[in-house]
Structure 1
């Protein structure tokens, strides 16, 4: 088990119709906590890093944290670079050892997006890594990438041409989902997932997962959303947990950083574990 290719994790999830949490981590504590949750729940896990996190921590330090924390781990895990429009960052992370990348060229014309995605797929294959692709921006800004403008859907024929030409391993369609916190309950085009999978059986990545209902998650996973992205929920849990602990510490005038770290770690483990149970990946690592 241990660190495995993204395709190995998603192949089983797609075939058996369960979802694997793809959780964006922000530092060493959140990385260790989501890995601990995966071990506790006997679940596969996709750890995601944003371009912002890569730049903040440094790809070398971040990858050293990854290799240290996954040494001897007994569940299948993989390291994925999320929403990256910059080819040089993709190359940097592939060289360090990331197992998978999302080349986000969704703001380019489809033809140019496709041309460059073909190049990224070829580059990634040289490192034994996988590629996630998309032709439509997911509404919302995340870590400085994206737009608040509503995403425009391409015709099914355009999406299929992209898939057949690029041969990406995972596809992220726009289905009415959005990054960040939903201001109202989203209306999702779940049928689009079914149509894509029926025409071209590739694992689908569900972006903007934070805030969807349990029923929406289960329905979309049953249609082929094998990779379920979670970023906002992790950030909110991490920061609110810190805030609650520090507020109580201020009231008591007792300052003990290790206690803070333990408390936040447990909250992050609880979040990740609950997602593994909900998505059906818990117990699938055996």
Structure 2
């Protein structure tokens, strides 16, 4: 299968009601390990980059890594720019070859958000790319983007008007989900997903997936959340894996970086496989 448009991954998932892991990578090791995990469990995967990662590594280097690591890959994969309010970065990534973008203008009034999203969709189409949109900020700060203040939830009518006017391919509603680590079990407005899907039959992106319960994942995916975003869980897996290995290395006074990378790679692969099994995408890669 190889690199495909976002729609080729989320549309089948939406139709069959399974979720596809959309995982925010932040270096070469996590990119390679996420792709390897998807291959091992035969799952499609959406590889995401934050604006912070694009700026720290550079779009050209990131895309060259992506091209190299996906050459000959046998499961459907796609490269997505997550939560980007900066039009210049959106354009930079589309020109470089990203398959889709989340233009995040949720800090703007809905009317201005809608106007600019229409422009982004038009631009993305010229590159054969897709667009995810949102009208409410997802609570929490992630990769220096966002706010801990809870955004006002817009009406269903406003959401549907935005979807119709912009022609976005995926919609990300705020349903009580949050970026980062949940301090308490979140109370989710799952019925909002059902209302949107019933009215417009559009794949839904579930943000703030790290920390939700298996029951919440199962329910939301069944309602139409075809794209399930994971960021914090990968960061925690990466850093805790490093920490455990380095503690043992210190105890043994044995310092071998390649062994550290191999250890962490294995933990990331296991995380990806567990997510794919949980979301129902395992075995759906061909």
TM-score bracket for the superposition, by shorter chain length = over 0.9
Residues in 2 aligned to 1:128 and 1:242: alpha-carbon distance in whole angstroms: 39
Q: Deviations over 1:243-264 (max 9, x none)?
A: 1111111111100011000000
- Report the counterpart of residue 33 of structure 1 in structure 2: 33
Query: How many residues were matched structurally?
Result: 286
The one-character-per-residue Cα deviations of 1:33-68 (angstroms, maximum 9, x if unpaired) are 010011000000000000000011110000000000
Q: Secondary structure of the residue that 1:174 maps to in structure 2?
A: coil
Q: Does 1:167 align with 2:167?
A: yes
* 2:72 counterpart residue number: 72
Q: Distance in 2 between matches of 1:179 and 1:82?
A: 12
Deviation digits for residues 144-168 of structure 1 (CA, Å, limit 9, x no counterpart)? 1100001211000000000000010
Q: Secondary structure at the match of 1:23?
A: strand
Tell me the equivalent position of 1:201.
Answer: 201
Q: Which residue of 1 aligns with 2:94?
A: 94
Alignment partners' CA distance in 1, 2:262 and 2:144:
30
Calculate the TM-score normalised by the size of structure 2.
Answer: 1.00
TM-score by length of 1: 1.00
Name the residue aligned to 1:119.
119
Matches of 2:147 and 2:49, distance apart in 1: 19
The reply to whether residue 186 of structure 1 matches residue 190 of structure 2 is: no
- Alpha-carbon displacement from aligned partner over 1:111-168 (angstroms, at most 9, x marks no partner): 0000000000000000000000000000000001100001211000000000000010
Mark the runs of 5 or more structure 2 residues left unpaired by the alignment: none
Query: What's the counterpart of residue 130 of structure 2?
Result: 130
SS in 2 for 1:265: helix
Counterpart-to-counterpart distance in 1, 2:53 and 2:250 = 29
Match of 1:282 in 2: 282
Superposition pairs of residues 33-72 of structure 1, within 5 angstroms: 33-72=33-72
Give the distance between the partners of 1:192 and 1:272, measured in 2 at CA: 28
Find the residue that maps to 2:102 and give its secondary structure.
strand
Matched with 1:269 is: 269
- For 2:156 and 2:167, locate their aligned partners in 1 and report how far apart those are by CA, in whole Å: 16
**CA separation in 1, counterparts of 2:272 and 2:72?**
20
| Aligned-residue CA RMSD (Å) | 0.4
Q: How much does 1:267 deviate?
A: 0.3
CA distance in 2 between partners of 1:92 and 1:159 (Å): 28
Structure-1 residue corresponding to 2:229: 229
Deviation by residue 1:178-232 (Cα, 9 ceiling, x = unmatched): 0000000000000000000000110000000000000000000000000000000
